[in-house]
A and B are shown apart, each in its own frame.
Chain A
Amino acid sequence: MSIRHCYIHIPYCASKCPYCDFNSIAGRSDEWTVYVQALLQELRRLPTGPYDTLFMGGGTPTILPPELLSTLLSGIRSHIDLSDDYEWTCEANPSSADAERFKVLAEHGVNRVSVGVQSTDDATLSFLGRAHNAAEAHHTLAEATAQFERVSADIMFGLPQQTAEDLKRDLNLYKQHGITHASVYHLTMELGTEFHARYKHGEQLNCSEQQSGELFDCLMTELATMGFHQYETSNFAHSGAECRHNIAYWTGQNYHAVGAGAVSTIHGQRCTRHKHPKQYINSITAGQNAIQHTETISDIDRINETWMLGFRLQRGVCIQHLEQLGITQDCWQQQAGALQTDGLIDFNNTHIWITRAGRAVQDAITQQFFLDTED
């Protein structure tokens, strides 16, 4: 079967947010043009498709000036075929995205944007080191919804001393702007970030486990009353507004990828490209593949990933898929039975899934289904 999904990475941002562990780097505007050329060069090596989903992420793709953005998009379009009912997402940040850029995106066929709002409170935004304020965020959302039918906004929770009221105020933006997709992430101290280092030195940068549990409950309830369903652990959508590109990851599909640090997974080979844009550019322009690391996904890896990713989805893990991997019901009956009694998971003939009650502790549940690994 041909591969229907492709991820495209733009590694540049206005400034580096202190909690961020994405492959992103501040500034370097003199490199952008060459980077776009290299990226298109790599893209032209891919099969032409047709593709069901494209996802342009970062970094901040909208940091590119409109002309360069246009060059990138038309370059993509000239090589890639899209299926009739394609989804093409582009990430956008309030600090750089504007009506003009949104127009360029729409003209070239982008039909979904995902805006990194994070908070609607100025103090919180500055704590998070974001380059925008609340007013700018609202402005960008208004421009995005004017141009696109499908808009998503990212919100962050689990901040120090955050109350349920604070969170509800943030969540209100979905209603306010008529946005049908929400990605709500818990602030995490990721290794290698500035926050992680400060946290290690004793700075209070997150909230208590108790509080974090309560906020998670609050957001699930609140978004449900606003007509969203939690189709994945951190992703909520009105019916039909789900992100199909991300669902492809969670259901174990193959996907192509281009750009610095981008990861593709094709027939059990997971390839990571050079993270640093400079190295990436050098490798691609020298005619090489820029791949820094290739991991072969073993049978056990694949099984564990099926559990891990499937459990993130509301619909759960597909039992038939498990059976294809050699995991029959007797392999998990015992754990499942006990967890079902405790109301943390449930299953029927086709799927096994985590319940609303189990959602807050899904990592602990997931591990119970993992197969043991070597060394």
Chain B
Amino acid sequence: MLRGMSDSLDTIRNFCIIAHIDHGKSTLADRLLQQTGAVADRNMQDQLLDDMELERERGITIKARAVCIDYKHSDGKTYQLNLIDTPGHVDFTYEVTRSLQACEGALLLVDAAQGVEAQTMANFLLALDQDLEIVPILNKIDLPAAQPEEVAIEVEESLGLDAESCIQASAKKGIGVPEILSAIVERMPAPIGNANAPLQALIFDAVYDEYRGIIVYFRVINGSIKRGDNIRLIRSKKLYEVTEVGRLRPQMTAEKNGLAAGEVGYFTGSIKALADVKVGDTITLDKDRAEPLKGFHDAKPMVHCGLYPSGETTYDQLRESVEKLQINDASFTWEPESGGALGQGFRCGFLGMLHMEICQERLEREFDLDVVQTAPTVTYQLKLKDGSDKEITTPAEIPEEGYEAIKEPMATVNFMAPSSYVGAIMTLATERRGIFLRQEYMGKERCVLTYQMPLAEVIYDLFDQLKSHTSGYGTMDYDIYGFEEADLVKVDVLVHHEPCDALAIICHRSTAEYRGRAMIKALKSEIPKHLFEVALQAAIGKKVIARESVRAVRKDVTAKCYGGDISRKRKLLEKQKKGKKRMKMIGNVEVPQGAFMAVLKSRSADRE
């Protein structure tokens, strides 16, 4: 058994498991943990590393997770394997990129029944960028529909990896696991580094813990780190004393000799200041400083929305929680924003719609908050009348006097699906302002269609629509390639003549009218009757494009109220008043929180 610092880097392997969503990464991690004895059989459960409540509920990995296991190889030596299980969904790609930088190798899983998919390709390219040794694995060979030979050829043709090098496996049944373990040791390189040089360690993740402060996950490149060391976080210029260093097995296990070059682990130092820890920062010793390592490219959020406290939640609680969330999710960004009817809140940025949904749910669950979310928008570039440029992330930032031109982010979208769905995908893409680029075949049956499309069209509901148009067989990925000018307009929503920023959207002129109509209709069904008729309008500038009204209350009278009923009737009215108090005020109109969500959802419903 290896304990404490490894005397030699030769017996260390750092690798991650990458794949398209659902191809079996977390299940393979389970088998690796189990067959090396890192987790006893009785403690085993499916997708053990997906321990976040949301991960278990949705059956997907959201956070990358590092684990250290000891593996006794056939050469008689015991190896320290640091594996990182990564998420497959495109919205969590930033988790993958950061993980790759802590590794020398990658297990690339391909579902032997599904073949190479959009994220297989995307993640493969990311691993290649980092010069990682890639070991392809054909998973789920136990499935009757598995075609490992065909998929191996597909891997060779589309990824350029030797078909012979693919390992056939079933993560579920445990088939092929010994071969995978051998390949990790034999095909992946050991880390290179100098344990005696000044400490250089790369922070690739962190999490806030109520009791221990921030827990920092890192990979040591050079030097070593142990309890009691005074370390410096180079970029944030902060000093801390290390109170614990250890490995994840998978639970945090202190290592009293510390960790050295090539190893992966965590440290704590009673770090309470949330702003001090940044992923991509370098840890060094205060007394013996080293140069900073190349960090990570910042994630560039492309979808934005407002998050506002509601119900019992206060602004300060929300602020603290978004800070804590950001520690654990470096791709999530936020800044304070004032939202009119919604009060003070935050403008938040996400990598995609699923990411947005997950962040909102994590805030509500992990921090027990109540939040209202406004409609998502992409980043737009404006050319202003005075000739200057401006980037905006919310329709409210459009200047009163308008602009010369507006550009929206554009993406290259690859759709992959069995050839019989080509027609359905083309219709879908064209409806969403897609411009056809090319069509290619992968093997005999599967087809890749490439389109240029506005990102705004991609993020709203394209993925869901693709799934429903292709009976679930279609997959897609996208890459933002730049900004292009378009005929976009801001659609305002006026609630009883009061414009509501939180409900405004930017959309293409051709879709403005039905979007406006759908929003107003959704609002109408959410806003309760008032003492006056509530006018609802959607407008482009001064031009009203849709209108509806909520009729006034006609009758609301308690019929009887005598000596015996007074308390009950009073309490009834008090309760009704309380219900109204939880609503947001737009001018004189009480708008339930659900209305904001309903308006947001109206965008995908109105397409049908």
- Can you name the residue of chain B whose Cβ is closest to the Cβ of A367? B577
Closest CB in chain B relative to A210 CB, distance in Å:
5
- Can you name the residue of chain A whose Cβ is closest to the Cβ of B574? A373
Question: Within 8 Å of chain A (Cβ to Cβ): is B567?
Answer: yes
Which interface class (under 10, 10 to 19, 20 to 34, 35 or more) fits B?
A: 20 to 34
Given A212-B555, A213-B555, A312-B561: A361 and B574 interface contact (C-beta under 8 Å): no
The proximity string for B residues 296-321 relative to A, scoring 1 for CB distances below 8 Å and 0 otherwise, is 00000000000000000000000000
Question: Within 8 Å of chain B (Cβ to Cβ): is A262?
Answer: yes
Bound Cα distance from A361 to B553, whole angstroms = 7
Question: Within 8 Å of chain B (Cβ to Cβ): is A77?
Answer: no
Question: Within 8 Å of chain A (Cβ to Cβ): is B256?
Answer: no
- Can you name the residue of chain B whose Cβ is closest to the Cβ of A184? B559
User: Are the C-beta atoms of B570 and A301 separated by less than 8 Å?
Assistant: yes
Best-buried of A23, A216, A308, A338 by chain B (most CB within 10 Å): A308
Tell which of A188, A305, A365 touches B566, judged by Cβ atoms closer than 8 Å: A305
User: Are the C-beta atoms of A309 and B567 separated by less than 8 Å?
Assistant: no
The proximity string for A residues 170-185 relative to B, scoring 1 for CB distances below 8 Å and 0 otherwise, is 0000000000000001
Given A301-B570, A372-B581: A364 and B562 interface contact (C-beta under 8 Å): no
Given A257-B563, A309-B561, A309-B566: A361 and B578 interface contact (C-beta under 8 Å): no
Given A263-B564, A363-B573: A210 and B554 interface contact (C-beta under 8 Å): yes
Bound Cα distance from A374 to B554, whole angstroms = 30
Q: Which residues in chain B, 560-590, are within 8 Å of chain A measured between CB atoms?
A: 560-564, 566-567, 569-570, 573-574, 576-578, 580-581, 588
User: Are the C-beta atoms of B574 and A234 separated by less than 8 Å?
Assistant: no
Question: Within 8 Å of chain B (Cβ to Cβ): is A7?
Answer: yes
Tell which of B552, B564, B569, B578 touches A308, judged by Cβ atoms closer than 8 Å: B569
Bound Cα distance from A8 to B255, whole angstroms = 81
- Can you name the residue of chain B whose Cβ is closest to the Cβ of A23? B564
Question: Within 8 Å of chain A (Cβ to Cβ): is B532?
Answer: yes
Closest CB in chain A relative to B579 CB, distance in Å:
10
Q: Which residues in chain A, 195-220, are within 8 Å of chain B measured between CB atoms?
A: 209-210, 212-213, 216
Given A7-B563, A361-B553: A342 and B531 interface contact (C-beta under 8 Å): yes
User: Are the C-beta atoms of A344 and B573 separated by less than 8 Å?
Assistant: no
Question: Within 8 Å of chain A (Cβ to Cβ): is B273?
Answer: no
User: Are the C-beta atoms of B559 and A361 separated by less than 8 Å?
Assistant: no
Bound Cα distance from A262 to B570, whole angstroms = 18
Tell which of A234, A305, A367 touches B576, judged by Cβ atoms closer than 8 Å: A367
Bound Cα distance from A327 to B581, whole angstroms = 21
Bound Cα distance from A373 to B570, whole angstroms = 11
User: Are the C-beta atoms of B557 and A362 separated by less than 8 Å?
Assistant: yes
Given A344-B531, A370-B577: A249 and B553 interface contact (C-beta under 8 Å): no
Closest CB in chain B relative to A359 CB, distance in Å:
7
Best-buried of A7, A185, A263, A367 by chain B (most CB within 10 Å): A367
- Can you name the residue of chain B whose Cβ is closest to the Cβ of A233? B557
User: Are the C-beta atoms of A363 and B567 separated by less than 8 Å?
Assistant: no
**Residues of chain B with a CB closer than 8 A to A270's CB:** 566-567
Question: Within 8 Å of chain A (Cβ to Cβ): is B74?
Answer: no
User: Are the C-beta atoms of B556 and A249 separated by less than 8 Å?
Assistant: no
Question: Within 8 Å of chain A (Cβ to Cβ): is B558?
Answer: yes
**Residues of chain A with a CB closer than 8 A to B531's CB:** 339, 342, 344, 361, 364-365
User: Are the C-beta atoms of A212 and B554 separated by less than 8 Å?
Assistant: yes
**Residues of chain B with a CB closer than 8 A to A263's CB:** 563-564, 566
**Residues of chain A with a CB closer than 8 A to B574's CB:** 304, 370, 373
Bound Cα distance from A372 to B580, whole angstroms = 11
Closest CB in chain A relative to B374 CB, distance in Å:
27
**Residues of chain B with a CB closer than 8 A to A210's CB:** 554
User: Are the C-beta atoms of B554 and A209 separated by less than 8 Å?
Assistant: yes
- Can you name the residue of chain B whose Cβ is closest to the Cβ of A366? B573
**Residues of chain A with a CB closer than 8 A to B558's CB:** 233, 362-363
The proximity string for A residues 334-368 relative to B, scoring 1 for CB distances below 8 Å and 0 otherwise, is 00001100101000000000000001111111110
**Residues of chain A with a CB closer than 8 A to B530's CB:** 364
Number of inter-chain CB pairs below 8 Å: 104
Question: Within 8 Å of chain B (Cβ to Cβ): is A288?
Answer: no
- Can you name the residue of chain B whose Cβ is closest to the Cβ of A7? B563
Question: Within 8 Å of chain B (Cβ to Cβ): is A255?
Answer: yes
Bound Cα distance from A220 to B535, whole angstroms = 29
User: Are the C-beta atoms of A234 and B560 separated by less than 8 Å?
Assistant: yes
User: Are the C-beta atoms of A363 and B563 separated by less than 8 Å?
Assistant: no
User: Are the C-beta atoms of A360 and B577 separated by less than 8 Å?
Assistant: no
Question: Within 8 Å of chain B (Cβ to Cβ): is A295?
Answer: yes
Closest CB in chain A relative to B571 CB, distance in Å:
9
Question: Within 8 Å of chain B (Cβ to Cβ): is A265?
Answer: yes
Bound Cα distance from A305 to B557, whole angstroms = 15
Tell which of B552, B564, B569 touches A261, judged by Cβ atoms closer than 8 Å: B564
User: Are the C-beta atoms of B563 and A360 separated by less than 8 Å?
Assistant: no
User: Are the C-beta atoms of A295 and B567 separated by less than 8 Å?
Assistant: yes
Question: Within 8 Å of chain B (Cβ to Cβ): is A186?
Answer: yes
User: Are the C-beta atoms of B570 and A338 separated by less than 8 Å?
Assistant: no
User: Are the C-beta atoms of B563 and A249 separated by less than 8 Å?
Assistant: yes
- Can you name the residue of chain B whose Cβ is closest to the Cβ of A368? B577
User: Are the C-beta atoms of B560 and A185 separated by less than 8 Å?
Assistant: yes
Tell which of A265, A339, A342, A361 touches B563, judged by Cβ atoms closer than 8 Å: A265
- Can you name the residue of chain B whose Cβ is closest to the Cβ of A214? B554
- Can you name the residue of chain B whose Cβ is closest to the Cβ of A157? B559
**Residues of chain B with a CB closer than 8 A to A239's CB:** none
**Residues of chain B with a CB closer than 8 A to A344's CB:** 531
**Residues of chain A with a CB closer than 8 A to B581's CB:** 372
Question: Within 8 Å of chain B (Cβ to Cβ): is A246?
Answer: yes
**Residues of chain A with a CB closer than 8 A to B588's CB:** 338
Q: Which residues in chain A, 255-305, are within 8 Å of chain B measured between CB atoms?
A: 255, 257, 261-265, 270, 272, 295, 301, 304-305
**Residues of chain A with a CB closer than 8 A to B564's CB:** 7, 23, 261-263, 272
User: Are the C-beta atoms of A186 and B577 separated by less than 8 Å?
Assistant: no
**Residues of chain B with a CB closer than 8 A to A262's CB:** 564
Bound Cα distance from A120 to B576, whole angstroms = 35
Bound Cα distance from A168 to B570, whole angstroms = 32
**Residues of chain B with a CB closer than 8 A to A373's CB:** 574, 578
Bound Cα distance from A261 to B562, whole angstroms = 13
**Residues of chain B with a CB closer than 8 A to A23's CB:** 564
Closest CB in chain A relative to B318 CB, distance in Å:
22
Closest CB in chain B relative to A353 CB, distance in Å:
15
Closest CB in chain B relative to A157 CB, distance in Å:
9
Closest CB in chain B relative to A346 CB, distance in Å:
15
Bound Cα distance from A234 to B562, whole angstroms = 11
User: Are the C-beta atoms of A213 and B570 separated by less than 8 Å?
Assistant: no
Best-buried of A23, A312, A363, A372 by chain B (most CB within 10 Å): A363
- Can you name the residue of chain B whose Cβ is closest to the Cβ of A272? B564
Bound Cα distance from A321 to B186, whole angstroms = 91
Bound Cα distance from A15 to B15, whole angstroms = 81
Given A255-B563, A338-B588, A373-B578: A362 and B570 interface contact (C-beta under 8 Å): no
**Residues of chain A with a CB closer than 8 A to B552's CB:** 361
**Residues of chain B with a CB closer than 8 A to A360's CB:** 554-557
- Can you name the residue of chain B whose Cβ is closest to the Cβ of A9? B564
Bound Cα distance from A212 to B566, whole angstroms = 23
Bound Cα distance from A210 to B554, whole angstroms = 6
Tell which of A185, A304, A362, A370 touches B556, judged by Cβ atoms closer than 8 Å: A362
- Chain B: residues with CB nearer than 8 A to chain A? 530-532, 552-564, 566-567, 569-570, 573-574, 576-578, 580-581, 588
Nearest first, the 6 closest Cβ-Cβ pairs linking A and B are A213-B554, A213-B555, A186-B559, A263-B564, A367-B577, A363-B556
13 interchain pairs, CB-CB under 8 A: A209-B553, A209-B554, A210-B554, A249-B561, A261-B564, A270-B567, A304-B574, A339-B531, A361-B531, A361-B552, A366-B573, A370-B577, A372-B577
